[in-house]
Amino acid sequence: MDNRQHTLASSFHLSGVGLHTGTYADIEIAPAQAGHGIQFQRIDLPQQPIIAADVNLVSSLERSTTIAQEQCKVITVEHCLAGLMGMKVDNALIKINGPEVPILDGSAKAFIDEIQKVGLCPQPIEREFIEVQEELFYENKEKGISLHISPHHSFEIDVHIAYNTSILSNQKASLTKIEDFASHIAPARTFCFLHELEMLFRSGLIKGGDISNAVVFVDQKVEEQKLAEIARLLHKPKLKVNDKGFLNNTTLRFDNEPARHKLLDVIGDLALLGKPIKGKVIAHRPGHAANVTFAKLIQEAFVFSKEIKR
């Protein structure tokens, strides 16, 4: 097994609208030297500040993960980071000319496709792993959320989701080899329920939301007037609910696509630790806030174990 650090063999570019801000942005993901880690650079701001993809710099977790330092912030970093971690990219500089990473199709597939095109370049430093030495737990009993990690020789993850609705009930997704991320997890798109859309818009979120970048589940009967109102919010002439309970003619990429996307989000949020993990994760009803809290628990345990060894 090649445990050297890797960066990209060359840069690639992607462009699109941000899910929450609705702001169009271009990003360039460029190679970086060994030990650099993953960093973002806001090239649209004075002095073009750089901010590390660091769990300690998370500033907001409202329906996505935002990192910030002083006046510099980058919103919705999780899909990009999941793509880089899933492809074992240790070092990269992400240049962006706006506040939010483009949502693209709502998955990490575009990042994977571009990484596979440009390829990877090995670097003369060994990867440092977070090797889990003992079981760690996070639980929010009120919301039915729990995350658990135990020692393991590699990274594995099981995710369970549960929604009290007939259209989307209990689902599970698993990843036993990070090499399967590109085909098994990366194409899974973000999702929400139709009844959430209006609330999210009124809250100033999903300004860039579109039925082309998310799967929208319809879990209750909707009057035509309400559909028309939501269509106006989405700048669509008309919306309809198909016979499978999705808006328009959406077709799932996987039967358990929502669970796979939640798994993608966990990987993206754990990427903020800055190092690959050796451990088995089991997550029930995870979300960004829980993922980041859990990541900080892992970080604290890792730092403590290193101090003990000294």
Structure tokens at 310: 């000294």
Q: Rounded distance, CA 162 to CA 31, Å?
A: 39
Could you tell me where the beta strands, DSSP code E, fall in 86-201? 92-96, 120-126, 130-131, 136-140, 145-150, 155-161, 171-175, 191-193
- Report d(CA 81, CA 76) in Å as an integer: 10
Please say if 79 is a catalytic residue. Answer: no
Residue tagged active-site, from 20, 160, 184, 288: 288
Query: Of 197, 262, 191, 213, nearest to 100 (Cα)?
Result: 213
DSSP states along 77-130:
-HHHHHHHHHTT--BEEEEESSSB---TTSSSHHHHHHHHHH-EEEEEEEPPPE
Give dist(CA 111, CA 41) in Å, integer: 17
Long-range contacts of 11-16 (CB under 8 A, 24+ apart): 11/118, 12/114, 12/115, 12/117, 12/118, 14/102, 14/104, 14/110, 14/111, 14/114, 15/102, 16/102, 16/103, 16/104
Q: In 3D, which of 43, 140, 143, 50 has the Cα closest to residue 92?
A: 50
What is the distance in angstroms between the CA of the first residue and the CA of the last residue of the chain?
Answer: 28
Backbone angles phi, psi at 3, to 5 degrees: -100, 20
**Structure tokens that stand for 147 in this block:** 């995350």
Question: Which residues are identified as catalytic?
Answer: 288
